[in-house]
Amino acid sequence: MRLCVAGAAGAFGIKHLDALARIEGVEVTCLVGPRNVDALAADRGIRHATADLDEALARDDVDAVILSTPTGLHAAQTIAAMRAGKPVLCEIPMADSLADAQEVVRVQRQTGVPAMVNHVRRFNPSHQWIHKRILSGELSLQQLDVQTYFFRRTNTNAKGEPRSWTDHLLWHHACHTVDLFQYQTGGLAAEVFGLQGPMHPDLGIAMDMSIGMKAPTGALCTLSLSFNNDGPFGTFFRYICDNGTYIARYDDLFDGRENPVDLSGVAISDDGIELADREFVAAIREGREPESSVAQCLAAMETLDRIERALR
């Protein structure tokens, strides 16, 4: 299978390139990006690089595409890929508005082309371990307490490089937790609220945010987000269950007393991005809907829209 990676030189583009290199029967044949892609393609032995996604989508040696591009481009680029007949895996969020997300899902249903969103928390072994035990009845979630913290008072990416677009706590970073909470509880949140702090004078976005959700089961989610945190950054999940407490830090899991949980055997890899890429490739090969398809993830966008309206 021959893939194109768009946004390849960005932080997550590199992560996808590293992950795809570990998947059998997969070759990256094309990179897309506004800068640095020629040198990256030469370094990785990739035959073609371009700044034009439409050019890449028209190539015969591109079977599918991974989008690791700015949030504001996701919906239009996902639709372009589907209309070109190319299965597409898009980084979260699939769009930065509910209306655009609904259009993505409409076009997917119209074309029948596989389209997936990289809600990587569904694939991290830590969250998979919890999910399997919730499904089996071994655990019942009472509260998911989440901290998503960065120190990002300028417009920079995860590598500390200048960004050409502006990140957003709600439509990007909260999207991870909103989807995960609904994935773990099995449905749309019954109640939501959102509060935001002062707006950045130049970026025009809230730098701090507090979000609450309640599942139909009664389980709660408390999410705190900040771009003002001068300290360790990242996202940390505390699962408070009826039969234990667990702390997930990306692909690692600990119990409530910080004892590591053995995740061996949960999945073929301990890298959530690789596992998502493997699911994308497998779904195309098997002719089935991928886990974390755009249709499955529309519920997260619906809840984000409700939270945004509460912020207003």
Cα torsion 246, 247, 249, 250 to 10°: value is 30
Q: Which of the listed CATH numbers 3.30.750.200, 3.30.360.10, 3.30.160.620, 3.20.20.70 matches domain 121-256+263-269+300-311?
A: 3.30.360.10
Determine what percent of the chain is predicted with pLDDT higher than 70.
96
Mean pLDDT of the chain: 94
**What tens digit of pLDDT does each residue of 137-182 get?**
999 999 999 999 988 776 666 666 666 666 789 999 999 999 999 9
What's residue 152's pLDDT?
74
**What tens digit of pLDDT does each residue of 212-255 get?**
999 999 999 999 999 999 988 789 999 999 999 999 998 999 99
Task: Tell me how far apart the alpha carbons of residues 118 and 94 are, in angstroms, rounded to a whole number.
Answer: 9
Determine what percent of the chain is predicted with pLDDT higher than 90.
87
Query: Quick one: how far is CA 13 from the chain centroid?
Result: 13
The answer to whether the CB of 3 falls within 8 A of the CB of 65 is: yes
CATH number for the segment(s) 2-118+273-293: 3.40.50.720
What's residue 40's pLDDT?
96
What's residue 77's pLDDT?
98
The answer to whether the CB of 282 falls within 8 A of the CB of 293 is: no
From residue 155, give the alpha-carbon distance in Å to each of 32, 165, 197.
22, 8, 18
Q: Where are the beta strands (DSSP E) in the chain?
A: 2-6, 27-32, 48-50, 64-67, 88-91, 115-118, 141-149, 191-196, 208-214, 220-226, 234-241, 244-249, 252-255
Give the angle subtended at the CA of 159 by the CAs of 157 and 160, to the nearest 5°: 65
What's residue 155's pLDDT?
66
Which one-letter amino acid corresponds to residue 132?
Answer: K
**What tens digit of pLDDT does each residue of 53-98 get?**
999 999 999 999 999 999 999 999 999 999 999 999 999 999 999 9
Domain regions of the chain by residue span: 2-118+273-293, 121-256+263-269+300-311
If one counts every other C-beta atom within 10 angstroms of the C-beta of residue 137, the result is 8
